[in-house]
A = this chain, B = another copy of it.
Amino acid sequence: MIKVVLLGAGNVGTHLFRALMAAENISLLQWYNRSSTALQEGEEKVETTTAIDELVEADLYLLSVSDAHLATLSEALGERQGLVAHTAGSIPMELLAQHKNHGVFYPLQTFSKQKAVDFQQIPLCLEANTENNLALLEQVASALGGPIHFIDSSQRKALHIAAVFVNNFVNHLYTVGAQLCEEHQVPFSVLQPLIAETADKIKTLPPQQAQTGPAVRGDQLVLNKHLNQLTKSTQKELYSLISAAIQQHG
């Protein structure tokens, strides 16, 4: 059994709590958070605490707090024998270098408290300062069941930006689609099969090859027509810039 202490009860922390509780070979000893409210879900299942100095010895301290609080929390942890790892996409492993054993355990997924996630579908990006520590993270990742990738801090930084493009930015384009539907009294659900197929296609076809539409065809007639039809300046700007980017890079 790998003994784990989980710190943080935000979106990622809460989903990790559920997954760690459900995982075989993992013994979750404690769940820490600054405020007790977010810990409520765990109260009858595990020891919860809001006091750093109550934390027990563990094989792994998993720090799942916001980027801004990570340094303070790492400092507050003090000297620990166990491995100290954070779950943040954009923070280098070196932030935890004060700990003899340190690493990163980054689940590359979008988490909403409202929506259940299946950790077997979540890639875990791992990094550690020694091979032994990496092996420990790999064991924990295996217990959660998702695909495992060994990703160093510079790669993870790039992945985090890529995730902004394919998740945050893509979602905003869905929002524009929903706005256009709403303006013309069309249910947004009409677009959902197209959205699903667009995401599905790139499982088998590299996105550059999957590109279709007026921009990649160089169909200036349709491009101009669309630009004239759009009424909001932000939508027009997005339309122009992304079309130009497609014509440049496919």
Contact = CB atoms under 8 A, between A and B. Distances in A.
B234 A175 contact: no
Contacts of A185: 155
A72 interface: no
A78 interface: no
A218 interface: no
Contacts of A158: 180-181, 183-184, 186, 229
Interface stretch (A27-35, A46-54, A94-102, A161-169): A161-169
Q: Say how many copies of this protein the assembly contains.
A: 2
Of residues A165, A214, A244, A249, which shows the largest number of chain B Cβ atoms within 10 Å of its Cβ? A165
Interface stretch (A57-65, A117-125, A134-142): A117-125
A245 interface: yes
Interface in A186-213: 186-208, 210-213
A129 interface: no
Contacts of A178: 206-208
Contacts of A173: 165-166, 169-170, 173
Contacts of A225: 90
B242 A115 contact: no
Interface stretch (A1-9, A16-24, A37-45, A104-112): A104-112
Contacts of A234: 244-245, 248-249
Contact of A199 (B122, B155, B199, B246): B199
B205 A172 contact: no
Nearest to A226: B161
Nearest to A201: B115
28 contacts: A67-B221, A67-B222, A90-B222, A90-B225, A108-B193, A109-B194, A110-B197, A110-B198, A122-B193, A155-B184, A158-B183, A161-B226, A161-B230, A162-B180, A162-B181, A163-B177, A164-B226, A165-B238, A165-B239, A166-B195, A169-B238, A171-B212, A172-B207, A175-B207, A175-B211, A175-B249, A178-B208, A237-B245
